[in-house]
């Protein structure tokens, strides 16, 4: 199964296609003999009907398939010619294929993402705006029994399809154009990812239907693409764990050029709205119509309660060979009106149900409990057992999560246990058949040897290391220091930092800039090589030239985010020495710094160890002076929140910079301290708009903001 070519027809649609081919031949013949107008006028052929049936029967489908094939041929040829100074085909051949693609786009009214006829413009956003769904997107009720599916379907006909394991997206088209894409989020509020959806590998950017179309589908990354991306990551520990995690991160990128590189695909699974189209009260008709508009539709089978067992068995046989990640099946009522008449519960719609694969359970012997320390100080028990085959792979360990679960299972070395894979992915202990309960909880940390303690939050008991200098805890501070908004060192993932700290390469911040002392060892480490090492050293060199706000943010002082760091630098005119020595009274005069943050700042710099570590780090850095703004600080003391898309600035970061240049501050959440919410859609019912209205905070547009500046000459 491929996300690029997933065209499937039933026998019924093929027969309809043959009938229409016959009619189409008549139309074509009469057109060639100049009798088309007469034929249409005499009622022999109803062109509108034929065109409509033709699309539903696969005419558009075949054209769109050809468009995809042409794109796959033309893109490599263009890349070779323009970027690599070589030819894969002659100019004449290229032009012929290009013109054919252009004609097909005109005929179908469909333009697919990635088409060589389109100019791709990438954009970097400052954040993903959030938006409330018009109706809640509920999860599905679940079963693992085929008999339950049969009973649920009853005398109705249904559609059985893959339950794809990606990220659910809602698309809106108007006037034939994609205007909005929103993630499912928590079901009530999702993130607007329109910018990214436009570069999905198979996304129709333009469709023939010009009314408002709303549909749902799953953004997914195929297993083959997942493996390809992981193979390009030399650091084994930095590789992605599964396609769903990779897809989730790819869909939510702020830079959609990264999304485009990941070959994310969209598989439609539900039509929500398309006025003016007669779907004959059938979900199957909706699926076929979506296909005719250029969408890839999730693979499905029409079923009755009698044919369900065979259909489920057929899908289960395809699981291992299916290239798109799936964690089960979905059964949907074909009768639209009947399904909707069933209504919904507080949690689930009643017109569809999910089928989860029955867990494959194996019996094995528990060898030991391994204690795994994390960067937060939490120490998790991990069960190590004799290897068993589960869902096609060999497993020998499973997380027990916390002490409460471990004690409930009464685990002990040598116990006979049963294990399974939750959702066919995550190894878990199902049951302990022996129940000896002999595992001892360690009183010292397995990493640093420091004292441990059991803490209870609500009903959950967990084990923690109490040593503030535990090596495992160091990772959190180093991860922040090298993050994008701090020093921004590419190649130093959390997994790589763990390796380097464990190997003794990094003890304090400054050590990051002396990794060249360990060149030979790093090159020999698993997942590394000369190229990875060279890239890492180059990244640290680039990062050594930074700004003071980035440095301050990267130190991880409690409550001091990047915005607060900028305000401190502005107030103290970038005099870091004065900042370090500032008393609480001076600090609280800085906009946004209250007593709690001031006390946290003083506490950090009262530590001799912290000061020494900062001094050593400063010795490795070149702090680039940011010119102080000459603009009048008309927004001094004012707090803004920016949401939605912007029109007069390059992006929201540019608007934020304008606010800060004028003495103001931009934050991400609407609170009682917010002075203005900037949203071009002033009347929207977004969560931020609602919160602002509740608190009586003015909601202003970009034009309102520009008028506060006295014009828009600074915007572009």
Structure tokens at 3: 């996300």
**Share in percent of the chain as helix, strand, coil (round to 5):** 40, 20, 40
What's the pLDDT tens digit per position in 551-576?
999 998 877 888 788 889 888 989 99
- Give the pLDDT score at 425: 64
Contact 31, 80 (CB under 8 A): no
CA dist., res. 204 & res. 207, Å (int): 7
Mean pLDDT, residues 146-162: 95
Q: Is 288 helix (H, G, I), strand (E, B) or coil?
A: helix
Stronger pLDDT, 638 or 150, i.e. the higher one: 150
CA dist., res. 62 & res. 351, Å (int): 31
Nearest to 97 by CA among 68, 119, 60: 68
Per the residue annotation, which of 130, 163, 638, 665 is the catalytic one?
Answer: 163
Q: How far is CA 65 from CA 30, 60, 286, in A?
A: 28, 8, 19
The residue length of the chain stands at 716
620 contact partners, CB below 8 Å, separation of at least 6 = 510, 512, 513, 544
- Give the pLDDT score at 32: 39
Q: What is the pTM of this model?
A: 0.47
What's the pLDDT tens digit per position in 23-55?
433 333 334 344 434 334 434 434 444 444 444
Structure tokens at 233: 């990551």
Mean pLDDT, residues 598-605: 91
Q: Which residue has the tokens 């007593």?
A: 595
Q: Which residue has the tokens 């085959």?
A: 389
Contact 210, 176 (CB under 8 A): yes
Bridge pairing between strands 213-220 and 167-174:
antiparallel
Contact 398, 382 (CB under 8 A): yes
CA dist., res. 427 & res. 362, Å (int): 11
Nearest to 160 by CA among 371, 322, 343, 314: 314
163 in active site: yes
Could you give phi then psi for residue 640, rounded to 5 degrees?
-115, 150
* pLDDT over 90 percentage in the chain: 38
Q: Is 20 helix (H, G, I), strand (E, B) or coil?
A: helix
**DSSP letter for each residue of 95-120:** HHHHHHHHHHHHHH--EETT-TTS--
Residue 663 has what DSSP assignment? T
């Amino acid at each position: 199964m491929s996300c690029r070519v997933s065209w499937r027809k039933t026998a019924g649609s093929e027969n309809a296609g043959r009938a229409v081919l016959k009619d189409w031949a008549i139309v074509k013949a009469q057109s060639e003999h100049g009798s088309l107008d007469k034929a249409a006028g005499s009622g022999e052929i109803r062109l509108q009907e034929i065109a409509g049936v033709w699309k539903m029967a696969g005419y558009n489908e075949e054209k769109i398939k050809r468009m995809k094939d042409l794109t796959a041929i033309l893109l490599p040829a263009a890349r070779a010619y323009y970027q690599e100074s070589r030819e894969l085909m002659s100019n004449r051949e290229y032009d012929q294929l290009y013109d054919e693609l252009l004609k097909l786009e005109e005929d179908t009214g469909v333009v697919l993402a990635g088409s060589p006829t389109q100019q791709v413009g990438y954009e970097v956003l400052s954040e993903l705006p959030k938006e409330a769904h018009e109706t809640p997107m509920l999860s599905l009720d679940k079963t693992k029994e085929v008999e339950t599916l049969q009973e649920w379907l009853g005398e109705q006909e249904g559609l059985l399809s893959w339950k794809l394991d990606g990220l659910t997206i809602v698309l809106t088209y108007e006037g034939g154009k994609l205007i909005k894409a929103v993630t499912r989020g928590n079901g009530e509020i999702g993130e607007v990812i329109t910018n990214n959806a436009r570069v999905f590998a198979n996304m129709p950017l333009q469709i023939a239907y010009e009314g408002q179309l709303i549909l749902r589908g799953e953004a997914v990354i195929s297993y083959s693409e997942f493996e390809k991306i992981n193979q390009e990551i030399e650091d084994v520990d930095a590789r992605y764990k599964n396609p769903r995690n990779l897809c989730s991160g790819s869909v939510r990128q702020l830079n959609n050029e990264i999304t485009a590189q990941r070959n994310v695909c969209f598989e439609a699974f539900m039509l929500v709205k398309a006025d003016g189209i007669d779907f004959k009260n059938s979900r199957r008709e909706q699926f076929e119509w979506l296909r005719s508009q250029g969408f890839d539709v999730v693979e499905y089978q029409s079923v009755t309660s009698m044919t369900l067992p065979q259909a489920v068995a057929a899908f289960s046989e395809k699981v291992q060979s299916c290239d798109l990640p799936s964690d089960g099946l979905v059964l949907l009522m074909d009768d639209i009106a009947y399904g909707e008449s069933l209504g919904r519960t507080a949690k689930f719609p009643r017109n569809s149900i999910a089928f989860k694969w029955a867990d494959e359970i194996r019996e094995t012997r528990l060898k030991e409990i391994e204690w795994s320390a994390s960067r937060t100080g939490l120490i998790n028990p991990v069960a190590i057992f004799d290897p068993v085959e589960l869902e096609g792979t060999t497993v020998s360990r499973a997380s027990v999560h916390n002490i409460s679960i471990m004690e409930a299972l009464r685990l002990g070395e040598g116990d006979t246990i049963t294990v399974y894979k939750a959702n066919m992915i995550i190894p878990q202990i199902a049951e302990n058949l022996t129940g000896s309960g002999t595992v001892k909880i360690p009183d010292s940390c397995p990493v640093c040897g420091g004292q441990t303690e059991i803490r209870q939050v609500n009903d959950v008991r967990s084990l923690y290391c109490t040593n503030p200098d535990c090596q495992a805890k160091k990772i959190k501070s180093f991860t922040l220091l090298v993050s994008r908004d701090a020093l921004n060192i590419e190649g130093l993932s959390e997994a790589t930092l763990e390796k380097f700290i464990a190997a003794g390469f990094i003890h304090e911040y400054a050590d990051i800039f002396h990794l060249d002392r360990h060149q030979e060892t790093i090159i020999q480490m698993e997942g590394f090589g000369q190229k990875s090492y060279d890239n890492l050293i180059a990244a640290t060199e680039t990062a050594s030239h930074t700004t003071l706000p980035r440095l301050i943010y990267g130190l991880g002082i409690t409550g001091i985010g990047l915005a607060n760091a900028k305000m401190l630098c502005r107030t103290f005119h970038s005099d870091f020495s004065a900042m370090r020595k500032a008393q609480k009274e001076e600090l609280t005069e800085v906009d946004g710094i209250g007593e709690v943050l001031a006390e946290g700042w003083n506490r950090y710099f009262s530590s001799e160890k912290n000061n020494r570590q900062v001094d050593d780090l400063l010795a490795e850095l070149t702090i680039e002076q940011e010119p102080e703004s000459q603009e009048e600080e008309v927004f001094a003391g004012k707090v803004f929140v920016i949401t939605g898309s912007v029109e007069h600035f390059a992006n929201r970061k540019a608007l934020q910079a304008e606010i800060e240049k004028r003495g103001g501050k931009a934050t991400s959440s609407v609170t009682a301290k917010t002075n203005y919410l900037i949203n071009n859609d002033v009347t929207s019912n977004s969560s931020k708009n609602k919160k602002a209205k509740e608190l009586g905070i003015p909601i202003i547009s970009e034009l309102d903001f520009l008028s506060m500046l006295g014009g828009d000459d600074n915007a572009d």
